[in-house]
Amino acid sequence: MAKQQTIKKEISLKGVGLHTGQEVNLTFKPAPENSGYCFVRKDIEGEPVVEADVSYVVSTQRGTNLQKEGVTIQTSEHVLAACVGLEIDNLYIELDASEPPIMDGSSKFFIEALENAGIQEQEAEREEFVVNEVICFKDEETGSELVVLPADEYQVTTMVDFETAVLGTQNASISKISQFKEEIADARTFSFLHELEMLLDHGLIKGGDLQNAIVYVDKEISPETMEKLRAAFKKDSISVKPNGILDNLTLHYPNEAARHKLLDVIGDLALVGTRIRGKVIANKPGHKINTDFAKKLAKIIKVEKRNNVPKYDLDQPPLMDVNQIMEILPHRSPFLLVDKIVELTDTTVVGVKNVTMNEPFFVGHFPGKPVMPGVLQVEAMAQTGGILALKSVPDPENYLTFFMKIDNVKFKQQVVPGDTLIFKLELLAPIRRGICQMQAYAYANGKLATEAILMAQIVKQK
């Protein structure tokens, strides 16, 4: 697995916030392993920290805004996109105002600053959410939809349709995150003229000028609007280019709007807090659906972490089949409860049992509603653990393992015919004097079914 990364030294830049118009100093600083991205408000007593966590999203109007215990961070997405684009995992982002500087409306200047600071590899392994099934979220009202599919790398595709003559359907894609710097980072934020008028009327985009936002002219500009724009942007004159955008700015790409939407998706999904290995397809994305999707992913990841479900291709040949298991364990049908071993190291073992209706215990255990007895699930985990325990001796066929103690047994869900049980056991301490203590889990249907702490003794047969 890849290692986590931070930066080698601190580095600063300054500018104005797009919506606040306030001058702001931003400093990137190295952060310890497993810190994630942390915004630090230097202008507030105590220098409170707001972690880049989707649970802190309070507003998605014209940007993704976070708030923790009354402390606000506005328009977080462009900075976070740069962090993900450079595969930085841990970073302190210090601000002396609520909003990072807009710079030119893209992530370009943040990328440049972070690269100038240098990337530093850390010791801890990078955590990654591996997508194994299709996950989707749709807003029925707007038609916006985000989907993530299994893929070998983090990939993103955006499809936008603004249903206007000046800016219609556009697409943008990256097939690996390393393409972000060259293909996405300099794509600038944009607005339509009718939105711009509304924002100006409400006292927003105080830090805007014609160099940090593309303005698409989707309506005829009245003399009154022209005067309002000249005053807002402090320009002597303003006109519309033939391609339908206000002057003083040239598009970097014909599909710059779609590329910026891709930038926003990456920045917003950074709030999940875990790297994603999968292909994200975003149809008509926006900050609200991006963060709603991030919340769904974060919830799935939280459940997966809690369950810690091991992933194995059960169609592959096992390390040990049932005949090899019987060479080590003394158990026989109908009391041999492990069908195969798929992983075996010095500290971990993973076994599998296919539960069928032909199990003899179903005859008398809730025959009208067959359920595998919990005590037999524990026994099956213990038999799997016996394989791990006996690995520590050179001639396992001459030894037996016996239960000494069972602690903290919890049954989470029923196990029924048709389920495939996966048992995972890990040593809690090195085996000493034949005493083996293991944390044991049993999973069914991708969920934790049973857990316990088992202690056994390895005894030589007489």
Q: What is the pLDDT of residues 32-64, one digit of tens each?
A: 999 999 999 999 999 999 999 999 999 998 799
| Least confident among 58-72, 216-230, 383-397 | 216-230
For the domain made up of 322-460, give the CATH fold: Thiol Ester Dehydrase; Chain A (3.10.129)
Amino acid 144 reads S
For the domain made up of 3-186+257-305, give the CATH fold: Ribosomal Protein S5; domain 2 (3.30.230)
Helices assigned H by DSSP within 270-399: 287-307, 322-326, 374-390
According to CATH, where is 3.30.230.20 located in the chain? 3-186+257-305
What confidence score (pLDDT) does residue 462 get? 75
Q: How many CB atoms lie within 10 A of CB 41?
A: 20
CA distances from 218 to 167, 191, 194, 245 (A): 8, 10, 7, 9
Identify the CA nearest to 451 among candidates 461, 438, 460. 438
Residues whose CB falls within 8 Å of the CB of residue 94, separated by 6 or more in sequence, listed in order: 26, 27, 28, 29, 39, 40, 42
Burial 108-118 (b: 16+ CB within 10 A, else e): bbbbbbbeebe
List, for residues 235-294, the tens digit of each pLDDT value. Answer: 777 777 777 777 657 889 999 999 999 999 999 999 999 999 999 999 999 999 999 999
Q: Calculate mean pLDDT across residues 14-30.
A: 88
What confidence score (pLDDT) does residue 239 get? 76
CA 8, 12, 18, 20 torsion-angle sign: positive
Q: Has residue 428 got a pLDDT over 80?
A: yes
Q: Calculate mean pLDDT across residues 90-98.
A: 97
Q: How many CB atoms lie within 10 A of CB 443?
A: 24
What confidence score (pLDDT) does residue 201 get? 67
Q: Has residue 210 got a pLDDT over 60?
A: no
Read off the pLDDT band of 164 (50, 70, 90): confident
Read off the pLDDT band of 200 (50, 70, 90): low
What confidence score (pLDDT) does residue 106 get? 95
Q: Has residue 233 got a pLDDT over 80?
A: no
Q: Has residue 382 got a pLDDT over 90?
A: yes
Catalytic choice (194, 252, 331, 365): 365
Tell me whether residue 365 is one of the annotated catalytic residues. yes
List, for residues 334-350, the tens digit of each pLDDT value. Answer: 999 999 999 999 999 99
Tell me whether residue 202 is one of the annotated catalytic residues. no
According to CATH, where is 3.10.129.10 located in the chain? 322-460
Q: What is the mean pLDDT of the chain?
A: 90
Whole-angstrom distance, CA of residue 199 vs CA of residue 216: 14
Residue with the bigger pLDDT between 366 and 203: it is 366
Burial 200-224 (b: 16+ CB within 10 A, else e): beeebbebbbbebbbbbbbeebeee
What confidence score (pLDDT) does residue 161 get? 86
